[in-house]
Amino acid sequence: MKMLGDMYEKVLALTRGLNRAEPSVAASTRTRVKGRSIGGRLRACLHFGEKGSALVEMAVTLPVFLLLVTGTFSITMALFAYEQLGQAVFEASQTIQDSRGYTSDPCAAAATSVTEALPTWSQGNFLYTLQLYQTPSTSVSYGPYAQSSFNCPSFANDLTQYQQGILTVSYQYTWVPSYMLNLGTGKLTQARAVMIE
């Protein structure tokens, strides 16, 4: 404790620009030294004690911590969007399953189902693909097309009971900016198998 007290005294002396003599020397022998610059005083303070090191540690770790927090937030938002897209594609595949004999355009019905499930998403960023298997080895594919051109009235005639198909929906996702870094866009894709009933 005494050693810390002595260092504290030295720091005070340096900040005031005084040269403190040892306690055994008489007070009259204390002399004034040349004043230090602010930078010199700051360096002197940072070399003694714990106060300066905590500031340096925070200055080094804070940007890394902020990068980790914002990166985690960005990835969490992307995973949440991926799950929302999966639920919307599932609902669209259910629409196609039940559309035989009830709709003239199963592709438009699927696209409408997705846009109703995700009303706040940009509809121009969706790409749809519908693939129907006529036999296990042959299939008819329509897409990938944007929502405005995703119409397939001819598929309504191709739908047969117990026919299998795959509905694939892709979305151009824009990442949440992470610590002043714009990560651009990425593609979220979900596919669901369809069994026509």
Which whole-number Å values give the CA distances from 106 to 31, 117, 190, in the listed order?
96, 17, 18
Check whether 69 has a pLDDT greater than 60: yes
Banded pLDDT at 138 (limits 50, 70, 90): confident
**pLDDT in the model for residue 52:** 67
Check whether 109 has a pLDDT greater than 60: yes
Which whole-number Å values give the CA distances from 76 to 3, 79, 80, 84, 185, in the listed order?
50, 5, 6, 12, 15
